Structure 1
Amino acid sequence: MEPGKEPLYRGLGRCACSFWLAVVFDVLGLLVLLLGVFVNVFFYDLLIYAGAIIIFLSLVWWVFWYSGNIEVPPAELEDDVGLLPKKRGALGALGGAVRRLSSRVSGTVRASFRRNGRAHGSEAQRVTQVNVGMATMTTERVPATETLPT
């Protein structure tokens, strides 16, 4: 193939493996399902359910095949992945300010969820350990005038 030329895909497209896996799952699922319907075995219900599940799982391969063959022109793709030059001027400066504000706010929120002992700014949080004593309780009722042994 010549450099700079994209290959021409015909027939099944780019994802032929996903296509054939989907077809195999469909055929296998249909065979198992029909086997459960028409063969007189005591576990026919298992075969019917298994065939339906296999056919359902073939949808995964059909989605892979379809989404793998979607064509996006490079001109439309460049804007989505940020390959176009950044616009200068009022809108470019506003976008930069919004981006800085967003990263500052998200950094503050992210830091507030951290549990590593560091606080915002120069303050340091002190992590202390609290010991809690637990007493054994009985199910019998104790009159209000009596106290529990310690």
Structure 2
Amino acid sequence: MEPEYGALGRCVCCFWLAVAFDIVGLAVLLIGVFVNVFFYDLLIYAGAIVIFLSLIWWVFWYSGNIEVPPAELEDDVGLLKKKKGDLGGLGGAVRRISSRLSSSIRGSFRGNGPPTGGVATRSRRSAAGPQVSPHAEQVSVAMGTVTPQDNFPHTAASSVAGCHVEMPHTATESSPT
């Protein structure tokens, strides 16, 4: 036997919190509008924010009172009992293909390389020939410092505490490989 709920439903506490937030927010907002105080703008903004926060309690109250019959929930949460012949036939084939496809798509979003097995990997190998290694697309850049020569001017750093430090001009260059 299901419990009987009043006119407000299951989440009575959320309902009264939402109403209280609305009343307090509206009162603060109206005080900011109609009372002549120097901080009226603070009251207007605070009242609007409190009214906005009451939406959280309204959503909790509404979503807590949604009633879904258990028969509709069975398939969504995996409570549906599988029969022996459930995975056979056209429905089972479609479910297996869908499962493989979704797992390969999930694997491609993870960034851990290509998914192992699955329809997408097999078709990529057959269409593109041998599988390309992940290191084949990397480009290496060699960097080195150039030693100063006589024709480069020396730059001096500012003197701090009587010490004058000269820094040679250095450059970096990259060469394509």
Provide TM-score, normalisation by structure 1: 0.68
Q: Which residue of 1 aligns with 2:7?
A: 11
User: Who is 1:35 aligned against?
Assistant: 31
User: Equivalent of 1:76, from 65, 68, 72?
Assistant: 72
Name the SS of the counterpart of 1:112 in structure 2: coil
Kindly provide the amino acid, as one letter, of the partner of residue 96 in structure 1.
Answer: R
State the one-letter code of the partner of 2:65.
N
After superposition, residues 60-99 of structure 1 pair within 5 angstroms as 60-86=56-82, 87-88=86-87, 89-99=89-99
Greater CA radius of gyration, 1 or 2? 2
Are 1:44 and 2:40 counterparts? yes
Counterpart code for 1:92: G
> Do the aligned partners of residues 19 and 132 (structure 1) sit closer, same or farther apart at CA in structure 2, a change above 3 Å counting?
farther
Q: Flag structure 1 segments of 5+ consecutive residues without an equivalent.
A: 114-120, 136-145
- For the residue of structure 1 that corresponds to 2:113, the secondary structure is helix
Query: What CA distance in whole angstroms lies between the structure 2 residues aligned with 1:34 and 1:134?
Result: 69
Give the C-alpha shift of residue 112 in structure 1.
2.5
Over the aligned positions, Cα root-mean-square deviation in angstroms equals 3.3
User: 1:134/1:50 Cα in 2 relative to 1: closer, same or farther (>3 Å)?
Assistant: farther
Q: How many residues are matched?
A: 128
For CA contacts below 8 A with separation 6 or more, give which structure has more relative contact order.
1
CA distance in 2, matches of 1:147, 1:31: 75
Higher strand share: 2
Structure 2 gaps of 5+ residues are: 115-130, 136-140, 154-168, 171-177
| Counterpart in the other structure of 2:113 | 112
> Per the alignment, do residues 24 and 109 of structure 1 end up closer, same or farther by CA in structure 2, a change over 3 Å counting?
closer
Amino acid across the alignment from 1:93:
A
